[in-house]
Amino acid sequence: MLKFLKAQSLKAYNTFGFNIKADLFIKINTTEEFQELLKCKEWRDNKHLILGGGSNVLIVEDFHGLVILNCITGIEILEEEDQSVVVKCGGGENWHEFVLYTLKKNWGGLENLSLIPGTVGAAPMQNIGAYGVEIKDAFHSLEAVNLQTAEIEVFTAADCDFGYRESVFKHKYRGQYFISSVSFKLDRYGFHRLQMSYGIIQDVLKEKGIKSPSIQDVSESVIEIRQSKLPDPAKIGNSGSFFKNPVINSQQFNKLIEKFPELPSYGLDNGQIKLAAGWLIEKAGWKGYSENGVGVHQKQALVLVNYGNGTGKDIMNLAKKIQDSVQNKFGVELSPEVNFV
C-alpha cells in the first residue's frame, strides 16, 4: 500500500539543505509501486517532482504538489563475457556506493566518477562526468516508466542523445519518464584502459609513488582531489558544480586569449573550445563572496553554497549576478548545471 506524507520537510532530500516543504511526499521502492502511483488521485490531482539524491536541483520555494523519492535499489549482472560485464543497478542506489561496488568487483569504467553525489537514476539525465570520463562512456541502457502510459521503455545510448551534461531527459523528454534502472558495460580486470588525461590525477599518483595504477588507485586519487576542492554537502549545503563549463567557437576564443593569455581551455573534437567556468567566476571577483547566508565557496568558485540560513531564491539571485558579471567581463554566457524547480 502506498504511503503518502503531508507537509514533509525536504531538508534531508536536497544537498543545499534548504528547509522547504512538499504538500505531499512518497518514497517509491519498486517499479511496480511507481506504476501503481500513476493510477492514484494523488498523482492525477497534483503537479509532481521526482527526486533522487537531490544533488543537482535548486528548489526555490515550498513545493505545492507531490514529491516522489526514487528509492529503487538492487544490483544484478545481465551479461558476462571474457572481457566485459553488463551490470544493472536500481535508480535509487547511491551513485558513489555503486562505483565502489564495481571497484570491488575489479570492473573498470566508472573509477573517474567516484564521489559524485546523487543517485544512479539521476546520473544519465545530465550525463554526469569528471576528469575525462562521462556516463555515456560506460552506459549500456536504461529502463524508464512512461508517465503517460505507465509502460516500461528501454533506452539505448543513441536514444538518450548524450551531450555535455545533457540528455533527452533534460529537454525533449523532460518530465515524461521515471528512470527505474540503469545498466553499464564495464571492463573486466586486465582489459580496461585507464583515463588519466587530466594532469591532476597524474600528479596525485606521482606523489603517491604509483607508477602502474589500478582502477582503485585512480578512484582514490579522484576522491582525494574532490575532497580537497569541493565542500561536503553534509557540512556546507551545495550541489557541487553549479555552472557548466562554457563552450565557445575558435573565433571567440582567439579574441579572449589575446586579452586573457592565462585563460584555461580545452579543445574539443568538433573544433570548439571549452573554458573553465570556475576560473571565469574567480577572475570576475566572486570567489569567497557571501551574502544573505549564501555564497561562493572559498576554494572552488564553481560551487555555490548555503551557509545554513540562506534560501533557494538567494542562491538563484546570486547565480544571476555571477552570470551577468562574467558576461560583462568576458562576453561568455554561463549556464547552470543544476535544475531549477
Residues that are catalytic: 165, 241, 337
Amino acid (1-letter code) at residue 204: V
Cell of 184: 553499464
* CA atoms within 13 A of residue 323's CA, in its CB half-sphere: 15
CA distance 323 to 333: 7
Q: Cβ distance 258 to 332 under 8 Å?
A: no
55-88: b or e for each residue (b if 16 or more CB lie within 10 Å)?
A: bbbbbeebbeebbbbbbbbebeeeeeeeebbbbb
CB 112 within 8 A of CB 130: yes
Q: How far is CA 232 from CA 87, 94, 148, 254, 307, in A?
A: 29, 16, 38, 37, 12
Distance separating alpha carbons of residues 77 and 88, to the nearest angstrom = 6
Alpha-helix runs per DSSP H in the chain: 31-37, 41-44, 95-104, 157-160, 199-207, 215-229, 250-259, 277-283, 312-330
Distance CA 16, CA 20 (A): 11
Helix (H, G, I), strand (E, B) or coil at 163: strand
The grid coordinates listed for 275 are 573554458
